[in-house]
Amino acid sequence: MKSLSICLVLLVFTSAKCQEVNRYFVKSIESQNSWNIIYLERDSIMFKVVNKIVEGTDCSEIEVGEFYDLVLKSRSETAPEIDGIKLRPINKLDVECYSFDKETEICIEPERGINDIYITDDLIGLCLVKE
């Protein structure tokens, strides 16, 4: 009976921990030209998410000061491929800025601990796709 109790406690703890893996706190939301820049935090680590501004949608928008479950994809990990070979810099810090369109270049912020830019399929503009 004692080992069953221990297993149950471990199961509850690990499943609660697993549910929090993709849980991010929205620190701030900014915009640059036609792009949203969303600053998220998880476990004292900052993440910079960029996506296209979408206006005129009736949806559940994310808000500063709230937590959301999101799956982030590193911009450096989603580098373009030619003949199955990913085009990446040798060092992630070699690329400091990314061009999102002709007028918009968005940069990493190493001084704030942001060494990559992320995207997510869980947001369209500021609208939460999954709840």
Distance CA 110, CA 13 (A): 34
pTM for the whole thing? 0.75
Q: Which residues have a Cβ under 8 Å from the Cβ of 76 and sit 6 or more positions away?
A: 88, 89, 92, 95, 116, 117
Encode pLDDT of 9-52 as tens digits: 444 444 444 445 789 999 999 999 999 999 999 999 999 999 99
